[in-house]
Amino acid sequence: MISQVGKSRWQPYLVLAIGALAVSWAAVLIRVAAAPALVTGAYRLTLASLILTPLALWRNHDQLLHLGWRDVRLLVGAGLFLGLHFATWISSLSYTSVSSSVVLVSTSPISVGLAARFFLNESVSARMFAGIALAVLGTAIVGWGGLTLSSSAL
C-alpha cells in the first residue's frame, strides 16, 4: 500500500502531466471544431466553470462569502480578460497554423515579465528571466518549424 507521503509526492506531477496533455491538445481540437471561434470559447469557459464552480464552493465557501467589492471587480476584470484572450486566440486559429498560434500564445511569460517590471515595479528574478528565455527559445523553435512549412503561416 502507498503511504500518504509517497502519494503526495507524485500527485502534483500527475496533475501537471494531465494538465499539460489537455492544454497541448486544445488548439488542435479547437481547430477541428465546427463552431465559430466565440462559440467555441464560450463552450470552453462554460464547461470549465461548470466543473470548477462546485469544487470552489465546496472548498472555499467561507472565503467566497467574504469577498469585498474590490475582489469582485478584480475577478470580473480577470474574467473579461480571459474571455478576450480566448476570443482572440481561438480566432487566430482560423488565420494561421496551429503551431504559429501556439507560438504567439506561448510568449505570455515575456508579457508577464515586462508588465511586472513596468506596472508593478517588480524586478525580474533569475527564475522569471529563465522562464522568459525558455519561452523565447521554444517560440523560436516552433516558429522556425512553422516558417519551413509555409512563409504565410506566421
CB 88 within 8 A of CB 101: no
Instruction: Tell me what pLDDT residue 153 has.
Output: 53
Task: Identify whether residues 49 and 88 lie together within a single domain.
Answer: yes
Residue 45 pLDDT greater than 80, yes or no: yes
In this structure, the answer to whether residues 81 and 118 fall within a common structural domain is no
pLDDT at 48: 86
Q: How many structural domains compose the chain?
A: 3
Instruction: Look at residue 73 and tell me whether its pLDDT is greater than 80.
Output: yes
Say if residue 101 is in the same domain as residue 152.
yes
User: 49 and 23 share a domain?
Assistant: no
| Whether 42 and 90 share a structural domain | yes
Kindly provide the b/e burial profile for residues 10-30, where b requires at least 16 CB atoms within 10 angstroms of the residue's own CB.
Answer: eeeeeeeeeeeeeeeebbeeb
- Same domain, yes or no: 67 and 114: no
Instruction: Give the contacts of 132 (CB within 8 A, at least 6 positions apart).
Output: 109, 110, 113, 124
Q: Which of 43, 73, 94 is the last residue of a domain?
A: 94
For residue 5, give its domain range: 1-32
Same domain, 1 and 20: yes
pLDDT (tens digit, 9 = 90+) per residue, 82-117? 888 888 888 888 777 777 777 777 777 788 888 888
pLDDT tens digits for range 134-152: 878 877 777 676 565 555 5
Task: Report yes or no: 146 and 100 within 8 Å, Cβ to Cβ.
Answer: yes
CB atoms within 10 A of CB 47: 10
Distance CA 90, CA 26 (A): 10
Assess whether 119 and 143 both reside in one domain: yes
Whether the per-residue pLDDT at 37 is higher than 90: the answer is no
Check whether residue 20 and residue 41 sit in a common domain.
no
pLDDT at position 116, please?
Answer: 85
